[in-house]
Amino acid sequence: MTSQTISSIAISGEITLNLHSLNNEGGEGNQIVTRQLTIVDKNGEEHTVNGISGDMFKHIHAGHLVNLAKEKSEQLPLCRNCQEFNANRLSDGRELGERFKTPKETKDREVVDAIIDTCVIDDLHGVLITSIGSTNKNVPRKSVMEFAWTVGIPGKTNTESYLHAKFVPDPTDVRGEAGNSGQNLFHRPANHGVYAFVCSLDAYRIGYNDITRKYVEADSVDRQERYKAAVQSLISTFLNPRGAMTSSQKPHITDFKGVVSVSSRSLPAPTISPLNDDYREQIDKISQELNKLEPDAIRTMRFENLGELAEILVEIAGYEPYELG
């Protein structure tokens, strides 16, 4: 690649997780139920496998991004809700209500400008504004970051259940069990296996108003810093996946291999699900064909472990986000 710019990034890989419970469907009695999905392979056969929602990895990435933004508050502004890691973000309308005194007369393009200007989380992770002040108003900001379901590869995942007991000083004292104060037994799942992971980052859309088709020009919108923070938080997501039950079942990540594809033009960085055995060869083939249309537009980099992935992401974090003309 001749230009040190990044339009989009895609990661496709096989991640091996052991003894984790990052995502669950709830509980039945004293049994916590692990999340399972039904998928169809390329041969049309159905499989029921373990899964981790893309919402979970998006949540993990957002948490690392919030912490980084607090360290660099001058370059990476946060709205008040994001400073508290409140999932409502700007959608509750309070903060925008202070900015727009006549919401009914406010144009959607002005709202999107304000979203991007006010908060790096709302810019990168998207938000649906449902009100401004006390006025109902629906304005979407599409996410720059996208995470697919992390899906167990058929035949390579499984779940076991373990009995846990809550410690009480006197186990014979069962009074107050309705208030969860006595001795309780419950079952927790511990999942293991090889999972197909897919995510993407559209760097060119950082700070970009999709309605006006222009970048927001404001001192608070440092596209370079936002792009670097997005990639750095992505590295942190793999190093420290803070999902469900990690206080006592932090995942053992024993392997992560795959391919990072990057694009320096308007062509999207290609990705194929690692549910296919030949996904890396397919991505390489697609990249070769796309480069016939736009020479040197696509670059692919394979990684065989988490260390090599970190090396690749650290390198491309130093690039500049592509800017549409």
**d(C-alpha 268, C-alpha 204), whole Å:** 10
Long-range contacts of 174-181 (CB under 8 A, 24+ apart): none
**d(C-alpha 14, C-alpha 150), whole Å:** 9
pLDDT of residue 183: 63
Long-range contacts of 230-233 (CB under 8 A, 24+ apart): 230/65, 230/124, 230/144, 230/145, 230/201, 230/203, 230/206, 231/9, 231/201, 231/313, 231/316, 231/317, 232/64, 232/68, 232/317, 233/61, 233/62, 233/64, 233/65, 233/68
**d(C-alpha 26, C-alpha 34), whole Å:** 8
- Using 50 as the pLDDT threshold, list the residues of the chain that sit under it: 1-3, 176
**d(C-alpha 41, C-alpha 233), whole Å:** 31
pLDDT tens-place string over residues 154-213: 999 988 887 777 776 665 655 545 555 666 677 778 889 999 999 999 999 999 999 999
pLDDT of residue 5: 95
pLDDT of residue 178: 54
Buried b (16+ CB within 10 A) or exposed e, 35-44: beeebeeeee
pLDDT of residue 179: 57
**d(C-alpha 257, C-alpha 302), whole Å:** 8
CA 284 to chain centre: 24
What phi and psi values does residue 40 have, to the nearest 5 degrees? -120, 125
Other beta carbons within 10 Å of 169 = 5
Please spell the DSSP secondary structure of 158-202, one letter per residue: EEEEEEEE---S-TT--TTGGGT-S--EEEEEEEEEEEEEEEEE-
**d(C-alpha 235, C-alpha 309), whole Å:** 8
pLDDT of residue 296: 93
**d(C-alpha 95, C-alpha 117), whole Å:** 12
**d(C-alpha 100, C-alpha 220), whole Å:** 18
Q: Tell me the Cα Rg of the chain.
A: 22
Among 201, 194, 159, residue whose Cα is nearest residue 275: 194
Helix (H) or strand (E) holding 61: helix 54-71
Q: Residue ranges per domain, the chain?
A: 5-25+50-76+143-149+197-321
110: tokens are 């002005």
